Amino acid sequence: MSTILLGAVAYDPKVVTIWDGFRVFFAKHGLDFDYVLFSNYERQVLAHLSGHVHVAWNSPLAWLQTERAAKACGRRAEAIAMRDTDCDLTSVVVARSETIRTLADLRGKRVAVGAKDSPQATLIPLEYFAAAGLVPGRDFEVVYNDVLVGKHGDHIGGERDAARALAAGTVDAACLLDANHLAFSRDGTLPASSRTVAQTRPYDHCNFTVLDDAPRDLIGRFRELLFSMHYDDAEVRPLMDLEGLKAWRNGRTEGYADLAASIDRFGTIVPFLEHAASEISSARP
């Protein structure tokens, strides 16, 4: 029996429970599935490009790393599925002072962001600032909260620290995923006086990524079984709750445009692409 092998990043202990649950679900439907956990997305992307896994559960930044590294090698990456909750997210710039009402009011101020590799709390918001004419590091100070760099902000620890800095008054604004802003307001991390100054355009988050050499039959069955999962099925609902979705959707890539613009503007993944090219080249016979 052929096994389909998935790569995922261990950003939280629940990841083991999630993929163990998927393993049981797939086995019940005749698909031999297993997974490998990585400590960071960069190592996962390299493993995928080297053929060690068939499919990767990628952050949006890891998707762009994979897509661009694959293209540089004359290969092709494809996003085959994503959660309903990965679609049309937004980030917000939050402030407390009544004197800060627009992005322009943050000129010369201190703005807290998440980890330097967080799409939602750093890269996309900083692109939003730059596109509006405020250059990060020149027109305002960027205060990074580098919690667990390599996990691309999946753990939200950096965002929580950014919110705490705003609450403590050590920064003038904080960049957060819209949903996390609401959660932090509800749990008391942010005071009721905090408010949204600006909001980014909608963008997409994680996806299942495959490369052009993936076993098509196995990938087809994997995708078929994903789409057979229904939230009203009591057997799979706990698993879907853990993974934070109510339905699987087709993979799409249009929602990564702003993140792509950000990494192009700031050169975010250039060192990784150079490293990937070196590793892949040295691995060839």
DSSP 233-280: -TTTHHHHHHHT-S-EEE---GGGHHHHHHHHHHTTTHHHHHHHHHHH
Inter-residue contact 65 to 260 (CB < 8 Å): no
pLDDT band at 282 (very low <50, low <70, confident <90, very high): low
Tell me what percent of the residues of the chain surpass a pLDDT of 90: 96
Q: How far apart are CA 49 and CA 213, in angstroms?
A: 10
pTM across the whole model: 0.96
pLDDT band at 247 (very low <50, low <70, confident <90, very high): very high
Domain segments of the chain as ranges:
3-87+204-283, 91-199
Place of tokens 């599935």: 33
CATH fold group of domain 3-87+204-283 = D-Maltodextrin-Binding Protein; domain 2 (3.40.190)
CATH architecture for residues 91-199: 3-Layer(aba) Sandwich (3.40)
Q: How far apart are CA 47 and CA 169, in angstroms?
A: 42
**pLDDT value for 279:** 84
Residue 89 is given by DSSP the state: B
pLDDT band at 283 (very low <50, low <70, confident <90, very high): low
pLDDT band at 105 (very low <50, low <70, confident <90, very high): very high
Q: Out of 1-5, 97-101, 225-229, pick the least confident.
A: 1-5
pLDDT above 90 (res 1): no
pLDDT above 70 (res 89): yes
Domain 3-87+204-283 and domain 91-199 have a common topology:
yes
Query: What average pLDDT does the segment 87-99 reach?
Result: 97
pLDDT band at 284 (very low <50, low <70, confident <90, very high): low
b/e code 130-153 from CB counts within 10 Å (16+ = b): beeebebeebbebbbbebbeebbb
Inter-residue contact 252 to 82 (CB < 8 Å): yes
Q: Would you put residue 47 in left (φ > 0), alpha (ψ -120 to 50) or beta?
A: alpha
The tens digit of pLDDT for each residue in 192-201 reads 889 999 999 9
Picking from 9, 69, 32, the residue whose alpha carbon sits closest to that of residue 211 is 69
Query: What average pLDDT does the segment 18-34 reach?
Result: 97
Q: In angstroms, what CA-CA distances link 51 with 47, 63, 70, 170? A: 6, 16, 12, 46
